[in-house]
Amino acid sequence: MMQGMAYGTCEAGGNEMPLAGGSAMRLSGPAALFLFLVASLIFPEVARAQVSYVARFALEKQAFLLGEPIFCRFTILNTGTRTFAFSYRTPTRVLNPELETEPRFSVTDETGGGVSDPAPRPCGGARGSAVYGSVTLPPGQEHSERWLLNQWARFVRAGRYRVRAERRLPLSAAKSAPPESSQPPLAYALAINELSFEVMPATEQDLQAAFQSYVKVLEDRAARNPAEAVLVVTTLPQPFLLEKLVAMATAPARESRWDRQQALEGLARLGTRAAWEAILRIARGEPGQRVGASENNALRAYAILLLGQKSDVAFLPALLELASTAPNELRGDVLRALGSFNDLRANQILFERLHSSATNDRVNAILGLKNLESKNAIPALLAMLNDPDAQVRQVAHFALQSLTGQKFKLSRSASRSESARMAARWHAWWREHGATFVIVRQPPCQDW
């Protein structure tokens, strides 16, 4: 039986256009009206179950200050007679481009050249996830979301810009519970818009005024949802926000309105000497932090990771000291970070820890040597393939795969004899190719 007709329009450059998608035909204008009237006569239930919508993106202003948050608003209006539902979440960009409900933005400057994407790269880790809620939209109701365009484009100079905004949002039957992902959608709400705007020069005083409302939200403990304000100050940090970012990163454990690691990332994006020194103080666990022991170690570990990604030799002495003084929970983070510096002092510690009696030290020394991305580390890694501990052998195998690009397979539960056969295969490969092969270098995860 026919469930209803799905119609929809999206606005692109101010003009409505017909859409196609989903399992039902979509038309707009006179053709849609004619089809709907005919279907209503043949199938009366169509008139009672029409899925129709208008979805579009729009900028909230036509001109923005350089450094000011640029929000692009997505709205969807239920213009039909049937209630539908869809997923939503807080507007932090997710790095997994395959998630169906995500918006996509492509920004070009006035010359037509693409604007650089500031997003970190997955670097082999999780591609990103998000916790979604559900919106139920009755006929005549409108839903809107604000997306921070600065998450997709780095605006470094004044001028005119264009953005192509796209979204294909599955619409499901409205239920008391969130829509089941296994059920096919009723329709897809498609929005495609070409928008233009100007970015103008700004003084620090101008920007302080532009950020004032977001800072007030962060300072207001009664604010119900500070997620947008947190996103703004950590994505677009300014020198006058330094103290606020430090306070957010070292907030007491009872403070749950934001992620402290997100505040640390804001300090790294700020990138001033004062900001990196604040990250170093957190990595060293200096007095003044207001978090508990477990939260403190997690925060310190992330600060150490950021220092490794920055790889500024000015911070190396502190990390060399931490390699000896940090608690066991942090020593592995320090060893992995040391591999990013490609410094003789750091390398010496890593090679020495390969002989540690602690399995955790040997594992993380291997990972640190992998981060060196140097042929000089290969012989030591080959030797670790015969380590008495299975975990160490597996990590050495993984490090060699990463550096060489070879896809030799070792089972997760490899026995000592299987590991020995794999070690012999790696040694044979090295004898044959060691003189000529080139290390496979990975792109940086972050652009600090």
Both 44 and 73 in one domain: the answer is yes
Q: Using alpha carbons, select from 399, 411, 384, 395 the residue that is nearest to residue 440.
A: 399
**pLDDT tens, 242-252?**
999 999 999 98
415 within a domain of the structure (yes/no) = no
Whether the predicted pLDDT of 42 surpasses 70: no
1: pLDDT strictly greater than 50: no
Cα distance between residue 61 and residue 412, in whole Å: 55
Name the pTM for this structure. Answer: 0.82
Query: Is residue 145 domain-shared with residue 291, that is, in the same domain?
Result: no
**Domain annotation covers residue 181:** yes
Domain co-membership, 156 together with 236 = no
Q: Are residues 103 and 240 in the same domain?
A: no
Q: Which helix (H) or strand (E) holds 165?
A: strand 159-173
Domain boundary among 310, 335, 366: 310
Instruction: Provide the pLDDT for residue 320.
Output: 97
Residue 375 belongs to a domain: no
Q: What are the pLDDT digits (tens) for 387-399? A: 999 999 999 999 9
Indicate whether 193 pLDDT > 80: yes
Say what the pLDDT of residue 318 is. 96
Look at residue 174 and tell me if it is in a domain: yes
100 and 208 share one domain: no
CA distances from 184 to 49, 84, 170, 179, 180 (A): 17, 13, 9, 10, 9
Does one domain contain both 94 and 19? yes
The model's pLDDT over 114-172, given as tens digits with 9 standing for 90+, comes to: 999 988 765 544 444 566 788 999 999 999 999 999 999 999 999 999 999 999 999 99
d(CA 169, CA 78): 13
Length of the chain: 448
Tell me if 89 is assigned to some domain.
yes
DSSP 3-state assignment of 9? strand
Proportion of the chain above pLDDT 70, given as a percent: 83
Residue 321 lies in a domain: no
* Gap between the Cα atoms of 29 and 7, Å rounded: 10
Q: Alpha-carbon distance 151 to 159, whole Å?
A: 18
Domain C-terminal end among 181, 200, 219: 200
- Whether 185 and 211 map to the same domain: the answer is no
What Rg do the C-alpha atoms of the chain give, in angstroms?
Answer: 27
Confidence of residue 286 (pLDDT cuts 50, 70, 90): confident
What average pLDDT does the segment 271-296 reach?
82
Q: What is the pLDDT averaged over residues 239-266?
A: 92
**Last-in-domain residue among 261, 288, 310:** 310
Q: How many CA atoms within 13 Å lie on the side-chain side of 99?
A: 17
Cα separation, 422 vs 409, whole angstroms:
8
Q: Is the pLDDT of residue 33 over 70?
A: no
Check pLDDT > 90 for residue 37: no
The verdict on 149 and 213 lying in the same domain is no
**Torsional class of 310: left (φ above 0), alpha (ψ -120 to 50), beta (otherwise):** alpha
In this structure, are 82 and 31 located in the same domain? yes
Residues of the domain holding 268: 204-310
